Structure 1
Amino acid sequence: MRWFDEDLNLVESREDLARYLIGLAEQIRDGHLAPENVVTSDFVDSAGRWTRSMEGFFENVIGEPVPETPDWALIAAIFRAALVYE
């Protein structure tokens, strides 16, 4: 699968995921990324809601069904989506 966010395409291992998440945190701290969900409970709730409804994203944006088995990039995508999903 190809993600439209090129950074997600680079997440292939646990170490890549760790690096990606640390990078997201740095972008937030530096003001380069403004999350909608700044409260932890809102962020976790958004991650759950996006995960529950990601079929629409996969059908409309990726053009593929949701993978049966998630990979490291999908986990990264859930974190990324939770920053802005309401």
Structure 2
Amino acid sequence: MNWPDPTLNAIQSREDLADFLTELARKVREGELSVENATTDSSVDSAGRWTRSMDGFFMNVIKEPVPETPDWSMIAAIFRAALVYE
């Protein structure tokens, strides 16, 4: 899969995902990344809603169907999307 964000493309392992999530949290905490869903419950809800509707993102942006089995980079993409998906 080829994500539009090279940061997501670099995530190949569990350790890469852990590093990404730690850095994502730091960016939010320090105001480097604006978020729509600042509370835990709204972020988790948004992650679920984005996951349910990611077919459109894959069709329009990735130009591939949603993979049946997620990889580490897709998990990272779900976390990233959860911060801004309304």
Same fold per superposition (TM over 0.5):
yes
Residue aligning to 1:57 = 57
Q: Tell me the TM-score normalised to structure 2 length.
A: 0.98
Distance 1:50 1:29 in 2: 22
Distance in 1 (alpha carbons) for counterparts of 2:39 and 2:21 = 17
Cα deviation, 1:20-42, whole Å, max 9, x if unaligned, reads 00000111112110111011110
The percent identity for this pair of structures is 67
In the alignment, the residues of structure 1 paired with residue 68 and residue 8 of structure 2 have an alpha-carbon distance, to the nearest angstrom, of 18
Matched, 1:38 2:22: no
Instruction: Structure 1: state its 5+ residue gaps.
Output: none
1:36 aligned counterpart, secondary structure: coil
**What is the TM-score with the length of structure 1 in the denominator?**
0.98
CA distance in 1, matches of 2:58, 2:37: 22
User: Following superposition, which runs of at least 4 residues in structure 1 exceed 2 angstroms of deviation?
Assistant: none
Q: Which runs of 5+ in 2 are unaligned?
A: none
Question: How many pairs does the alignment contain?
Answer: 86
**1:69 maps to what in 2?**
69
Across the aligned residues of Structure 1 and Structure 2, the Cα RMSD in angstroms comes to 0.5
Q: Does 1:78 align with 2:68?
A: no
Other structure's SS at 1:2 match? coil
